[in-house]
Copies of this chain bind each other. A is one copy, B any other.
Amino acid sequence: MEYVTDIRKQETVGIKEIMVDGFNNQVVKINGMVHTIRDMSEFAFIVLRKSEGLVQCVFTSGSFDFDLKSIKEGSTVEVEGVVAEEERAPHGFEVRLTNIKILSQPVMDAMLPLPIAKWKLKTSLETKVALRPISLRNVRERAIFKIQEGLVRGFRDFLFEQEFTEIRTPKIVAGNAEGGANVFKLEYFGKKAFLAQSPQTYKQTMVGVYDRVFEIAPVFRAEKHNTTRHLNEYTSVDFEMGYIESFEDIMAMEQQMLAHTFEFLKEHYEKELKLLNVTLPDVSKIPQVRFDTAKELVSEKYDRKIKNPYDLEPEEEHLIGRYFEEECGSDFVFVTHYPAKKRPFYAMDDPENSKFTLSFDLLYKGMEVTTGGQRIHDYETLVKKMEGKGMDVSAFENYLMIFKYGMPPHGGLGLGLERLTMKLLDEANVRETAMFPRDVTRLEP
Contacts and interface: CB of A to CB of B under 8 A. Distances in A.
A274 interface: no
A178 interface: no
Interface residues of A, number: 122
Chain copies in complex: 2
A146 interface: yes
Contact of A436 (B169, B379, B402, B445): B169
The 7 closest A-B pairs by CB, nearest first: A74-B406, A106-B406, A398-B445, A3-B285, A76-B408, A51-B211, A186-B186
B133 A401 contact: yes
A173 B443 contact: yes
A165 interface: yes
A252 B8 contact: yes
Contacts of A7: 249, 252-253, 256
Contacts of A167: 145, 149, 435
B4 A288 contact: yes
A37 to B, nearest CB: 13
A288 B149 contact: no
Interface of A: 1-8, 12, 14, 31, 33-34, 50-52, 73-76, 78, 103-107, 110, 112, 131-134, 136-137, 142, 145-146, 148-149, 152-153, 160, 163, 165-175, 184-189, 191, 193, 195, 202, 205-206, 208-212, 217-218, 220, 222, 224, 232-233, 235, 242-243, 245, 248-249, 251-253, 255-256, 284-289, 327-328, 334, 377-380, 398-399, 401-409, 417, 435-436, 438, 440-441, 443-445
A233 B171 contact: yes
A2 B243 contact: no
B2 A288 contact: yes
Q: Looking at chain A's contact residues, is the secondary structure mostly helix, strand, loop, or mixed?
A: mixed
B76 A407 contact: yes
A410 B208 CA distance: 44
Given A137-B209, A152-B166, A208-B133, A4 B51 contact: no
A261 to B, nearest CB: 15
